[in-house]
Structure 1
């Protein structure tokens, strides 16, 4: 059964779409409705959502901004975009963010249902079968099993081995590796696996080769639309991906490159588990300009993976989160512990000062601490016991309850003071958190 989130600032459209989908026999378990991008983010943080249907033109946070934030929270959630504008730029941006479809208002009911049905069918096909999976067969449906290009792999191995003698030699190797037209900015992602942990089996090398190729093709095709990555094999059945930014794309200051890498890493980990039921660790380098620095990116992605020894609960590692200290040094344990505590404490203080701010995001908090959103989420949960956004909700709900009990403020005024634009949305979150609504609380404890 599928769970759908409908986002539109016109309540009538939300109700109409909800009614249409509920009666279409599509196997939908839950339909959530949000009237702003901020409300939608709350649902994405707190509920299981498979498919989001969002309008583009909304006040406060438009559909494109929502898609950016949604990909940080749950990069695997599928999206269908609806818009009153046949603007090519909007459609192009939506598709680059992974939208399944871009539909123009006024909506045609049959067209919408076809789009939703196709998205749900695709998701159903991507779910692994129950029981012991046949990896080769499961990959055959969507991902073709292609062996890596040997010549390109040798050129990439040479670039990773060390700095070329000259920029000209680096350019020759880059051309042989298939990097023409890519870059000039690059980051490297390394995917490590432990095949022996899969259902306790010890796999022979031939099966490991097959799974490594399957993983490489899955990762490559998953990112192909947005990134055109260069995939290659590494020792011990690890997989490498080289991600590139053009000058124009890299200069786009509206998009955080760390957030993009964070999203890619978590999406790869999620899909490796979903398609292949394969445990993976993801190591991500920083970004460097020019193929002559690929050997440094290779070293960074490897060192990022080494931090899994210290953080067994974490699966995606960005080198920039740890570059202030060296992995594997005995003396660094205490320093790392103190640094992580400082990150969490600064984040906690920032949230306590800004939890009532409308539109507060994980990206904003992580930027203040110069770490990736993924690592901040992991540290905050590990040190406090709270998911970062659960902590924001906790502060908002406790303050909301205090204001309801000790003041004569109306519900919409309380909602406004704790960071919600919509009193209805505040009431939904409040009831989910406490088990009773603000009005029920007021009846139980009338003002004296």
Structure 2
């Protein structure tokens, strides 16, 4: 970090995890020096972490979420209050949508899946985090305007508002009813996901978003949940989190536009990897959204194929081509994903959750859950800081 005298110092790092072996492994294996970082302390839970911060504040805190005494989420809240300049990187054992969503909402700059920290990706992870921290340092909250950010949109060509000829985009008063209505339409279009596979829809959505001239905080609230959703639908958060990290470092709308175009192009290439027609990709995505929206996951492949308006055989072939996963494997992962959500958000007994997500046998469900996540559903619920009491 840069001192008031302009000297560059190493970024101080605090590692927080209740498993000593995990802390030691992370500290010893990560190439901290290469990215201007230095581990100054480690802690076994949030309470100990705050004691370390009081002794010597860190620039970056890498924290697990499920810890005794004080969870990672509770620690994040305290850091936000006591050390608002400290950046937080969340460590997790799994790509958990609910965790990632909560972490981003609470200000985490990155979300790292510990199981994925192989040697060949450590450089990428630290490079991304270092860039994000330096970007935050260059753009402190006290240096930002509290309301609208006209400089954020500087250089953007004037556009007509609401389709009215002769009008150019101006900064509209915050809370204006017309702007609010336009923002709601824009948000619905982002959530509709058509922009993923239709180039024209995507470009129109970028134009409409720029018209709104929203402050960055509201822009993030509109776009970030949608990016997380795109990763959730494909059962992979890695791409969504990289996307969000790049946007966090962008300080102009033109940079946002470039990142959105690049990352959307990457995702679109995945969806069209088998050169399917747009109608086929649209049908598969409709089927995916349908499955995710079901309260009870006892659907059949024929039922889902009907949603996509395809025969069972053609649907099976197309599904793998678009999502990269065999339908049966995707459904199993989705059911376990949903089970984790229910374990977080409800107090239903495990046998009831198993039935709701499509497993008729509770023992078989528990076996599949343990194979996938390394612990029984009961243990997952008990260790979870987001669980409903």
Report the TM-score range of the alignment, normalised by the length of the smaller protein.
Answer: 0.3 to 0.5
* Structure with max Cα Rg: 1
Instruction: Looking at secondary structure, tell me which structure has more strand per residue.
Output: 1
Q: Which TM-score applies when normalising by structure 2?
A: 0.36
Please, what TM-score do these two structures have when normalized by structure 1?
0.32
